[in-house]
Amino acid sequence: MKPATLIATTLYLFFMFGVLAAQQQEANQQMTAHPMPMHGHEPAASVRLSYQDLTKTAAMLETARNATAKYQDVRVAEAEGFRAIGPDVPGMGIHFVGPHRNSFDIAHPDILLYEKNPSAPSGFSLVGVSYLLNAETDTDGQPKNPPFPKLLATWHRHSNLCVFPDRSVRTDLSQGDCTTQGGRFSALTQWMVHAWIWKDSPDGVFSPTNPDVQ
């Protein structure tokens, strides 16, 4: 397995542990415990998101949709080198990892997200895309200068992952133990974000998981 493919593989496999889903659930619980007022004109917290931020992000996502429309037939994706990694996970579907790219390119996602659909070509429907980002960590715990506004998209990355040839993963091994047992160790993965541009997520286009993906 190439190092670049390893990075994408480890990101995906770690997501299966449900860490991000748990974070989303906690956030929803906090919103329930502190609901917004139904009436009145109390001042809301300042949100520094400009009209330009919104229009630029919408244009980028439209570019991504146009560029990935051909992948609605999974056979096209496979012909271009995308390969399924890991099992079918509710809320995330099946990740098809593509050829490695050295930099972020909105028209060329690193991963295509599919769900099973008997009526679709080859039994899969495209539901979203995923991007990887190699960037330093900013003071807010997010990548510096991300391509999407931080108030819209939250990126994630993980550390100390051991991936084995059968694509299973463990997080309880040291680098030495991982290597001894035939695995490949990742001290720190790249940043990752999902964009549900082919099947709307009720939790938002950049939500870590999509509850409507079965």
Of residues 214 and 167, which shows the higher confidence score?
Answer: 214
Q: Which of 10-14, 121-125, 202-206 has the lowest average pLDDT?
A: 10-14
DSSP 48-69: ---HHHHHHHHHHHHHHHHHHG
Domain boundaries, the chain: 3-17+52-195
pLDDT at 84: 87
Q: What predicted TM-score, i.e. pTM, was given to this entire model?
A: 0.73
Q: Is 163 left (phi over 0), alpha (psi -120 to 50) or beta?
A: beta
Sheet holding 83-89, edge to edge: 83-89, 93-97, 111-116, 124-133, 191-195
pLDDT band at 167 (very low <50, low <70, confident <90, very high): low
Q: What is the pLDDT of residues 128-159, one digit of tens each?
A: 999 999 999 999 999 999 999 999 999 988 77
CB–CB of 183/144 below 8 Å? no
168, 162 contact by CB (below 8 A): no
CA distance 95 to 12: 7
Q: Count other C-beta atoms under 10 Å from residue 189's C-beta.
A: 21
What pLDDT digit, counting tens, does each position of 23-45 carry?
444 444 444 444 444 444 444 44
In single-letter form, the type of residue at position 79 comes to A
Tens of pLDDT, residue by residue over 62-120, are 999 999 999 999 999 999 999 888 778 899 999 898 988 788 999 999 999 999 999 99
Q: Give the pLDDT of residue 41.
A: 43
pLDDT at 168: 64
Q: Which pLDDT score is estimated for 169?
A: 65
